[in-house]
Chain A
Amino acid sequence: MNSPASFMDAPALFSADGLLGIIFLIMIAVTLTGGFIAATAERLVRALAGIVICFTGVAGFYYFLNSPFMAMMQILIYVGAICITISFAIMLAAPERTRKTGPANLLSGPLGFIIAALVFGGMCALALRTQWEPFAKSATGTVREIGIELLTNHSMVFELISLVLLIAIIGAIVIARGGRTG
């Protein structure tokens, strides 16, 4: 696997590897489509649906990265909990249909596109030029391993995430309460 993969030495379509490959491609398509819907939808609920699709696709990636646990959690937490909470928020909030955008800057659109294209091109070039070496499979991605990792090597980060959550809660309260009391 030292030379870059090309279409010529790809596995046959109906072998096990080939089917997996197709599923992988489907996951990519699901993720991208979901992201696209979320970014372009005009109604919030549709955007939320896009996010759900996107997250599901991401869960697929985790599965391919040998982390079935993570994949499950992704679906459970992000799709199941977070997106549902967001949908509650959308339902409870007063609908505001005002769409006001400033006058579009003639330069910014094309300029942004060019820069984005350059970055994308750069990333593509990087991906194609590099001689990727697969890592040795270091773990099976079980709950146990993740737990051990989180409480040893990454215990600092693990602790700090609680701080992030605390700040997020305070921030949410502050911004949400903003209109009512002072």
Chain B
Amino acid sequence: MQDLMAILPLVATGAGAILLMLAAAFESFRKEGISIMGIGLFAFAFFVQLAVANSGSFAPYSGVLNGMLATSTFTKVAGLIILACGFFSAIAAQAYFTQNKGFVLEFYCLMLFAACGMLLLTMAAELITLFIALEIMSLAIYALVGYDRKSVRRSEAVLKYLMLGAFAGAFYIMGTVFIYAGAKSTSFRVITDVIATTGFLSNPPLVGGAFLILFAFLFKAAAFPFHAWVVDVYDGAPLPVTGFMATAVKTAVFAVLANFLMISSDLQAAWVDYLFYIAVFTMFAGNLIAIAQNNLKRMLAASGIVHSGYLIIALVAIQAKTFTGGAMLFYLAAYALATLGIFAALSYLAGEEERRVSFDDFKGLARVRPYSAACISIFLLSMAGIPPTAGFMGKFYIIASAFQAGHVSLAILGIVSSILSMWYYLRLIVLMYFREPEDRFEVAEMTLAPLGTIILAICVFAISFYPVVL
């Protein structure tokens, strides 16, 4: 029964999506109903995952499936974060669709499928399963990004993402082939054994394969030097999708990276030096890009690069034997809360056709909508890592883990980067609070997004003071 338990969230999301499609076949079941059902399905999957989270770690169906999946506390919590991201993105989408046209049904289906792929990604313990999971996630996200063919920005976004994503996929396959050549298996468990007996650096196909696979996932994680696509793609995607991509995809990708690096401490040790520089460059490149932006979405996209940098610090600090992923998961949760919060707020504040997305559009928001402005400020401060928000605690854990792993300079650079990032986060707060409003900020009523925003804002403090994830 445990086997079934472990894959139950997968079933819940996948079957939920199909159920949604079937239900939508009834004429009476329209936009609002679909939204509510989509949100409900994510909530359901989240609680299923929560129930599963207590069932220990093992490889489900290892007899039949040859150890293709493996669960641990790490994967389960990552799954929780992903489903929570889906839930809040769905709430944001509901507000978004009251003000924008779109394919509501397909949208929620694809979100659920994407979540299914992400859950698989976190659990995959074998390279081919991993690839299929990656494709499930990526395909769904491609479609979500580019659903509006008429919009030039959206087409540009989807084309860039698709092309580069395909390249990353090809690199991944190439890496799998090399690893198969080196280890004669695609299963993580066997690869671990092979590295333990032959060593990592003395086995060139493994080195090349690991390089290519890291390459592919660092691309998905938007790490330097594979970060250039992020800004255009995030900008082109619809608001809730951007939020979903920035949080859930990132969680899944970093879960994979951590799982993959944990295969063997030799493997990790071989790449730590490079990851070190990648972390530093990612943080600073992201900051430089973010400082130059005038569009809120693009700024958030660029700040997403910076946050990837912090997460790579956590990767550098992984110690294969004692890994619990606590610091990384907490950071992901904290980052997800803040990002989802901003996107939830934006999805109702932006208005029809995403009218308000530049910094100047939010002048004086605090006068007209004080609670929204306060929530956005909380999210921004959390992203910037100002105490007492969750973002600070996340940075604190990551820096502490970098210290434990002996990377003091990385810790210092991380803090320097967070000070730099204050610059563009503060800018929005200045505009919202210290300027007079020019806009009346009418938004559609009867949406769940404001409620979701406030819940997220409370969560920012709640998980800061009660870090349950750890």
Instruction: Enumerate chain A interface residues (CB-CB to B < 8 A).
Output: 122-123, 126, 129-130, 132, 135, 152-157, 160-161, 163-164, 166-168, 170-179, 182
New contact pairs (14) apart from A170-B109, A171-B142, CB-CB < 8 Å: A126-B207, A130-B181, A152-B64, A156-B129, A157-B128, A163-B113, A163-B136, A164-B132, A164-B136, A167-B136, A174-B147, A175-B143, A175-B146, A182-B102
Query: Is B204 within 8 A of A163, CB to CB?
Result: no
Q: Would you give 23 A-B contacts (Cβ < 8 Å), ordered by A? A: A122-B211, A123-B208, A126-B178, A129-B204, A130-B181, A132-B181, A152-B64, A154-B66, A155-B65, A157-B132, A160-B132, A163-B116, A167-B110, A168-B139, A170-B106, A170-B109, A170-B113, A174-B147, A175-B146, A175-B147, A175-B149, A177-B103, A178-B149
Closest 7 CB pairs of A and B: A171-B143, A178-B149, A182-B101, A126-B208, A153-B66, A130-B204, A160-B132
Contacts of A177 in B (CB 8 A): 103
Secondary structure call for the A interface: helix
Q: B337 on the interface (CB 8 Å rule)?
A: no
Q: Are B205 and A126 in contact (CB under 8 A)?
A: yes
Of A126, A155, A160, most buried by chain B (CB within 10 Å of CB) is A160
Measured CA separation A173–B103 after assembly (Å): 10
Docked CA distance A153–B65 (Å)? 5
Cα-based distance from A129 to B110 in the complex (angstroms): 45
List of A residues within 8 angstroms of B142 by Cβ: 171
Q: List which B119-160 residues lie within 8 A (CB) of chain A.
A: 120, 128-129, 132-133, 135-136, 139-140, 142-143, 146-150, 158
Which of A132, A161, A164, A179 makes the CB contact (< 8 A) with B149? A179
A170 to B139, CA, bound (A): 10
Contacts of A172 in B (CB 8 A): 143
Q: Is the Cβ of A122 less than 8 Å from the Cβ of B106? A: no
Within residues 53 to 108 of chain B, which ones have a CB less than 8 A from any CB in chain A? 61, 64-66, 68-69, 101-103, 106
A156 touches B103 (CB 8 A): no
A168–B148 CA distance with the chains assembled, in angstroms: 16
**Residue from B68, B109, B136, B205 in contact with A130 in the complex, judged by beta carbons closer than 8 Å:** B205
Closest to A173 in B: B106
Q: Is the CB of B140 within 8 A of A167?
A: yes
- Give complex CA distance A69, B269 in Å: 42
Q: How far is the CA of A155 from the CA of B67 in the complex (A)?
A: 12
**Is A157 in contact with B204, judged by CB distance below 8 angstroms?**
no
Q: Which residues of B contact A (CB under 8 A)?
A: 14, 18, 61, 64-66, 68-69, 101-103, 106, 109-110, 113, 116-117, 120, 128-129, 132-133, 135-136, 139-140, 142-143, 146-150, 158, 178, 181, 184, 204-205, 207-208, 211
Rounded to whole Å, the gap between the CB of A116 and the closest CB of chain B is 11
Query: Provided the pairs A157-B132, A164-B136 are in contact, do residues A178 and B148 lie with their beta carbons within 8 angstroms?
Result: yes
Please report the C-alpha to C-alpha distance between residue A152 and residue B148 in the assembled complex, in whole angstroms. 41
CA distance A92 to B332 in the complex (A): 46
Closest beta carbon of chain B to A102's beta carbon, Å: 10
- With both beta carbons as reference points, the residue of chain B lying nearest to A131 in the complex is identified as B204
Q: How far is the CB of B75 from chain A (nearest CB, A)?
A: 16
Residue of B nearest to A138 (CB): B184
Contacts of A153 in B (CB 8 A): 65-66
Closest to B182 in A: A130
CB pair B208–A160 under 8 Å, yes or no, is no
Q: Which of A135, A168, A173 has its CB near the most chain B CB atoms (within 10 A)?
A: A168
Cβ of A168: which chain B residues have Cβ within 8 Å of it? 139
- Distance A172 CA – B110 CA, assembled complex (angstroms): 12
Q: Quick check: A167 and B139 within 8 Å, CB to CB?
A: yes
For B102, the chain A residues whose CB sits under 8 A away are 182
Contacts of A157 on B, CB cut-off 8 Å?
68, 128-129, 132
Known: A154-B128, A167-B110, A170-B110. A160 touches B143 (CB 8 A): no
* Pairwise interchain contact B148-A164, C-beta atoms closer than 8 A: no
Chain B residues closer than 8 Å to A154, beta-carbon distance: 66, 68, 128
Instruction: Knowing A130-B205, A163-B14, say if A174 contacts B110 (CB, 8 Å).
Output: yes
CA distance A182 to B151 in the complex (A): 13
Contacts of B178 in A (CB 8 A): 126
Q: Is A171's CB under 8 angstroms from B140's CB?
A: yes
A163 / chain B contacts, CB cutoff of 8 Å: 14, 113, 116-117, 136
Nearest B residue to A177 via CB reads: B103
Q: In the bound complex, what is the Cα–Cα distance between A129 and B182 (angstroms)?
A: 13
CA distance A171 to B207 in the complex (A): 36
Chain B residues, Cβ within 8 Å of A129: 204
Q: Which residue of chain A is the closest to B228 with respect to CB atoms?
A: A108
**In the bound complex, do residue B120 and residue A160 qualify as a contact, i.e. CB atoms below 8 Å apart?**
yes
* Residue of A123, A155, A161, A170 with most chain B CB atoms under a 10 A cut-off: A170
- Report chain B residues within 8 Å CB of A166: 18, 113
In the complex, what's the smallest C-beta–C-beta distance from A171 to chain B, in angstroms? Answer: 3
- Alpha-carbon distance between A129 and B206 when the two chains are bound, in angstroms: 13
Instruction: Decide: A161 near B66, CB < 8 A? Known: A126-B204, A171-B142, A174-B143.
Output: no
> What is the bound-complex CA distance between A126 and B181, given in angstroms?
12
Contact call B68/A170, Cβ cutoff below 8 A: no
CB pair A156 B139 closer than 8 Å: no
Flag if A174 contacts B106 (CB, 8 Å). yes
Cross-chain contact A167 with B132 (CB below 8 angstroms): no
B204 touching A156, Cβ below 8 Å: no
Q: Of the candidates B65, B109, B139, which one forms a contact with A164 in the assembled complex, judged by CB atoms under 8 Å apart?
A: B139
Q: Are A179 and B150 in contact (CB under 8 A)?
A: yes
Of chain A, the residue at the smallest CB distance from B140 is A167
Closest B residue to A161 using CB positions: B132
Shortest CB–CB separation between residue A54 and chain B, in angstroms? Answer: 13
